[in-house]
Amino acid sequence: MTAAPLGIPAMGIVSPLGQDPKTVAAALVTDTASGLVADTELAFGKVIQVGAIAGSLPELPAAFQSDTCRNNRAMAVALTQIKDEVARAAERYGRHRVAVVLGSSTGGIAEGEAAYDAVRRDGAWPRRFHYRQQEVGGLASFAARFLGLTGPAYTVATACSSSGKVFASARRLIASGICDAAVVGGADTLCRMTANGFGALEAISRGRCNPFSRNRDGINIGEAAAAFLLTREAAAVELLGIGETSDAHHVSAPDPSGQGAYEAMRMALADAGLGADDIAYVNLHGTATPLNDAMEGKAVHQLFGAEIACSSTKPMTGHTLGAASACEAAFLWLTLHPDYNAGLLPPHIWDGEADPAIPALRLVSQGMTAAAGKNAMLSNSFAFGGSNLSLILGRGA
């Protein structure tokens, strides 16, 4: 059974490519690596490339001092960009009829790290530290209070698919009649836990990540926040389909067959009532780890063949972990929205040296445009533990 589309009338984003949709849209279609910078603080004793939000993030209002952390500050920037649309939805439906479902994997743990450093140095917790700052589940609670909403509010934490899973959760809330609209998205920001955790797994690239290359050697950690409003009303960009699967293959390695990834994409197509030929572009999960790219290339080729336009945007932003699904859904939204894009696709930034072990894919070069007559695009997110998600967005009214 095909699901009814949901409109996405508003989107807000802060990422290594910029702190507003217009800036991000312009950077997204250029061959840019400006979002990646060298960092000497996060990974103990190492210099690594990270996708960092450029510039400062505004402080939160005084009423939210116990929520003050980089994660919530980034989320607040994205939420502020959709705040007017959310207020109109709350006025129309009631504040209790608008849900907030957000994804994250680290929350504000960087504030917890800094507070623990202070304890070791000074013997006491910093006066302004509050445990709420580092709770993963605190993201949605903060966002609901920030927007003045009283409907269901919760955080999804499924590693790198977290902020994509929220689209499925929110759609179920709307379909069940629990709410009439929902704010979805997510945030993750840089911290030592992820930099050193992925370093311990030997998954951090020695330079800029190089997805689908024979020379790929791992990921760059990044940070971002993105927020969307979902409603039953038609919009310029709509949520068309969702596919979710669970491999349960390994705690940190994907199923090498790619079957779970393939099924997630196939289910998203079926959910949207579309065929593989209806998709103009695939935003690859494309982490540049040996196992992920091998299995994803196999799955995408099996379903779409060799001619589907696709790219990984992670060389521009780094892997933004729990924010990756929402960040890359925002990239689809910008690519599809006529006010932000004239048909250009995000380029695939790499060294051009294909891995002969991965089936051939049509990786986007700068200036490539979407095929005429195709108005739907798909984005993949594949998380630790085999939590797979595919989203399909398309042009609406």
319 is catalytic: yes
End-to-end CA distance of the chain: 22
**Pick from 146, 225, 169, 226: which is nearest to 6 by CA?**
169
250 is catalytic: no
Report the C-alpha gap between 197 and 191 in whole angstroms. 10
Q: Show the tokens assigned to 95.
A: 């504040």
Catalytic-labelled residue, pool 69, 160, 179, 310 = 160
Contact 140, 155 (CB under 8 A): yes
Catalytic-labelled residue, pool 285, 301, 337, 348 = 285
Catalytic-labelled residue, pool 179, 209, 301, 319 = 319
249 is catalytic: no
Hey, which residues are catalytic here?
160, 285, 319
